Structure 1
Amino acid sequence: MKQTALLLGFLLITLTGATAQTFRGLDKSPMDMAYYPDDYAHDRKFAPAKIGSDKAMVRVTYSRPAKNGREVFGKMVPYGKVWRAGANEAPEIKFYRDVTIGGKKIPAGNYALLLLPTETEWTIILSSDLDQWGAYSYNPALDVARVNVPVQKSDTVIENFSIQFAKKDASTATMYMGWDTAMVAVPIGL
């Protein structure tokens, strides 16, 4: 009887250990989402009256690398080389409606968001090649649009790469992207 109980206990411990799950550690670059209108997902669920008839225009899902005392543009992010706008997977930008960026019409849908930075301007690249890690497999043949925007100097150091939207007027929003002391403003219209 003792042997049977001991055998059952050992079997139970073995089976429990065999089904245990281990998880990877946390990414050093936390994921974030930016919406326009801001807090759209939250308000849609908890404050629908606040939204009214408006619906989201755009959402970006991206990872936020940190400066950590490093020289960012020109060093960590080389000038003249296509870069994912963030860390890890290339960010995904979703347009809920047809929009215009830099005079180019962009159909509603999901795109990879990539950048080609120089000291004076960033080329914003929308690619149909989703689910790519970084920009290592970047293929210019899959570009949907390219838009050049001038680089501005930020008044303060931006520690983590950041994307944020602001309302410009009734039919236009501005997507701000910045890191370190570099910042760009990308107008997005309906």
Structure 2
Amino acid sequence: MTSIAFALLFLLTLNVSAQEFKGLDKSPMDAASFPTSYKEANKLIKITYSRPQLKGRAVEELVKEGDVWRVGANEAAELTLYTDMKLGGQLVKAGTYTFYVIPGQKEWTAIINTDLNVWGSYFYNEDNDVARISVPVTTAKESLEAFSIAFDKSEKGVDMHLGWGTIRAAVPFTK
């Protein structure tokens, strides 16, 4: 009986050790939401995105001016609205969407699109855009190594702040 128990234990151990777990992603996935408190259950908006690092490179090397960008790395960023909101005066119904931008020197075009589960911006289809807005780009004194998104309350709703290196853009969502 001891031999049978040992054989079963060996097989179970072999099976467990055969599992392979992936290492940490070079551009880890993150999420930002508003309200920002983890204790607040009634979120208005949330974005899930990956956070690439500069690693000595310039933002302009990684994000090409005039090209649609997935906002982060890996899969395209997914934006969830928990209530109907407006982007640039265009009503966007509550739901989950892909969020893209088209970077420019002085302004970025923010885009909400119905495509989901897409890698990068390779499959971007303008026909599926729900809303677009152009927002000014500013330069900050502080440089951010990792691409970052944060929300804060505005007079008319919520602003989504995008930052990488010294580049900053604020995308206004209104109720």
Question: Is the contact between residue 88 and residue 131 of structure 2 (CA under 8 Å) also seen in structure 1?
Answer: no
Is 1:183 aligned to residue 155 of structure 2? no
**Would you say the 8 A contact 2:112–2:129 is kept in 1?**
yes
Partner of 1:148: 134
Write out per-residue CA displacement over residues 11-64 of structure 1, whole angstroms, 9 at most, x where no aligned residue.
64245323541111110112221111112x4333xxxxxxxxxx3211111111
Flag as ranges the 4+ runs of structure 1 deviating above 3 A.
7-12
Query: Separation in 2 of the partners of 1:23 and 1:184?
Result: 37
Displacement after TM superposition at 1:123 (Å)? 0.9
Partner of 1:48: none
Does the 8 Å CA contact 2:50/2:73 hold for their aligned counterparts? yes
Q: In the alignment, what sits opposite 2:23?
A: 25
Residue 147 of structure 2 aligns with an amino acid whose one-letter code is F
Cα-to-partner distance string for 1:60-118 (whole Å, 9 max, x where unaligned): 11111111110112x21111111110111111111111111111111111101111111
- Counterpart-to-counterpart distance in 2, 1:101 and 1:155: 28
Q: Distance in 1 between matches of 2:146 and 2:12?
A: 44
Distance in 2 between residues matched to 1:187 and 1:83, nearest whole Å: 19
Amino acid of the structure 1 residue aligned with 2:169: V
* Separation in structure 2 between the aligned mates of residue 72 and residue 165 of structure 1, nearest angstrom: 21
Hey, what does 2:44 align to over in structure 1?
Answer: 57
Cα distance between partner residues in 1 of 2:105 and 2:51: 21
Residue pairs, 1:58-137, within 5 angstroms: 58-73=45-60, 75-137=61-123
> What is the aligned partner in structure 2 of residue 43 from structure 1?
40
Deviation at 1:141, TM superposition (A): 1.5
Q: How many residues align?
A: 174
1:157 equivalent to 2:155? Answer no
Task: Determine which of 168, 179, 183 is the counterpart of 2:154.
Answer: 168
Letter of the 2:174 partner, please give it.
G
Instruction: Give percent identity, aligned residues only.
Output: 44
- The code of the aligned residue for 2:50 comes to S
Distance 2:56 2:46 in 1: 29
- Aligned residues: CA RMSD: 1.8
**Taking structure 2 as the reference length, what is the TM-score of the superposition?**
0.90
Query: Is the contact between residue 34 and residue 46 of structure 2 (CA under 8 Å) also seen in structure 1?
Result: yes
**Structure 1 residue matching 2:39: 3-state secondary structure:** helix
Gaps in structure 1 of 5+ consecutive residues: 45-54
User: Counterpart in 1 of 2:13?
Assistant: 16
Question: Structure 1-normalised TM-score?
Answer: 0.84
